[in-house]
Amino acid sequence: MEKRSILHMLDPMPHNSPFDINMAMDAGFDVLMPYSNVKLESVHGLTQDAIFSRSPAGIKRTAIFIGGRDFALAMDMLSASQKAMVPPFEISVFADPSGAFTTAAALVACVAKQLKEKHNKELKDCKALIFGGTGPVGIATGVISSLAGAETTIVDHLSIETAEDVAHGYNRRFASSLIGGYAGTDIEKAKLIKSCDIIFCTAKAGIQVLNANVLNAAINLKVVGDVNAVPPLGIEGIKRGDNGAPLQLALNSKDAVAVGALAIGDIKYQLQHSLIKEMLTTDKPLYLDFRDAFLKAQKILNL
């Protein structure tokens, strides 16, 4: 009789994400075991409890999902779990804190597709700004965009020091080339976007970050992507279902197109479902993070 599949869901937050639980169940795991308030130092022991309690056949039906809201902590937990493996007792591990890795991967890939189709450009040819850039989705978007070759600035609305600290920290860790930026007023936002090619909006839901007057300052804008699905959307004039539709309010960038939250969310859903499912079907352990999510997103979009 085949062992039931078990996904151990480790989360440093007080509650595991219902979204992630639903996704894991829909991907085919039989049993979900959520763990909240998990400390980094506990990951080694939890991993070894998971691997040593099952036979080699059972091991193939066992995996770990790492949630939370902190990019760096999720990567540290992924590393700690991988180091705890004792071959042949090894299981797959997937880190996706707050869905940030799959959301960011979907966002960057969707924008890259529009760049290619509408403007015959690649990320490496472009300057990108990320509003809401110091949150988990913004940081992941920034690292992915930078590693793909775009000149990428993460923008904080409160402090240039915060943005620069985040940029420097992740540059050291992942050999990216992030730039820290600040814009707290419409005048400062307009100055920043004047020469950019791409705008990624990853700010909190229900907050309009860029209005039409600010967008008019952009003269080279090619693609905008906004993950916000809650009105008001992050960028005025964008629609949730846009997937390459003209951004008509960007009057001085007449060829600019938009990618909205529903188009991004569709790819994000496919990504997370596919990566969780891969842990069930693989013959060898997988250690999955934002890089794997971006590769998968590119395949889904035929980039």
Tell me what pLDDT residue 58 has: 82
Contact (Cβ atoms closer than 8 angstroms) between residue 193 and residue 221: yes
Q: Among 5-14, 48-57, 258-267, 284-293, where is mean pLDDT lowest?
A: 48-57
CA dihedral 215, 220, 223, 226 (to 10 degrees): -30
Per-residue pLDDT tens digits for 190-215: 999 999 999 999 999 899 999 999 99
Long-range contacts of the stretch 283-286 (C-beta < 8 A, 24+): 283/60, 284/90, 285/85, 285/90, 285/91, 285/92, 285/93, 286/92, 286/93, 286/94
Tell me what pLDDT residue 248 has: 87
Q: Which residues pair with 246 in a beta bridge?
A: 257
Q: In this model, does residue 3 exceed pLDDT 90? A: no
Domain ranges within the chain, ordered by starting residue: 6-99+269-300, 103-264
Per-residue pLDDT tens digits for 134-153: 999 999 999 999 999 999 99
In the block, residue with structure tokens 């005025």 = 236
Q: Among 54-68, 152-166, 174-188, where is mean pLDDT lowest?
A: 54-68
DSSP three-state, residue 257: strand
Tell me what pLDDT residue 219 has: 94
Of 67, 5, 58, 75, nearest in space to 36 by CA: 67
Q: Tell me the mean pLDDT in the region 42-54.
A: 96
Of 195, 229, 230, 188, nearest in space to 210 by CA: 188
Average pLDDT, the chain: 96
Tell me what pLDDT residue 1 has: 60
Q: pTM of the entire structure? A: 0.96
Contact (Cβ atoms closer than 8 angstroms) between residue 44 and residue 51: no
Tell me what pLDDT residue 57 has: 77
Per-residue pLDDT tens digits for 98-140: 999 999 999 999 999 999 999 999 999 999 999 999 999 999 9
Q: In this model, does residue 2 exceed pLDDT 90? A: no
Per-residue pLDDT tens digits for 7-21: 999 999 999 999 999
Per-residue pLDDT tens digits for 238-254: 999 999 999 988 888 98
Cα gap 178→182, rounded to integer Å: 13
In the block, residue with structure tokens 């066992």 = 62
pLDDT exceeding 90 applies to what percent of the chain? Answer: 93
pLDDT tier, 229 (very low <50, low <70, confident <90, very high otherwise):
very high
The answer to whether domain 6-99+269-300 and domain 103-264 are alike in fold is yes
Q: Specify whether domain 103-264 bears CATH 3.40.50.720.
A: yes
Tell me what pLDDT residue 240 has: 96
Q: Specify whether domain 6-99+269-300 bears CATH 1.10.443.10.
A: no
Q: In this model, does residue 178 exceed pLDDT 90? A: yes
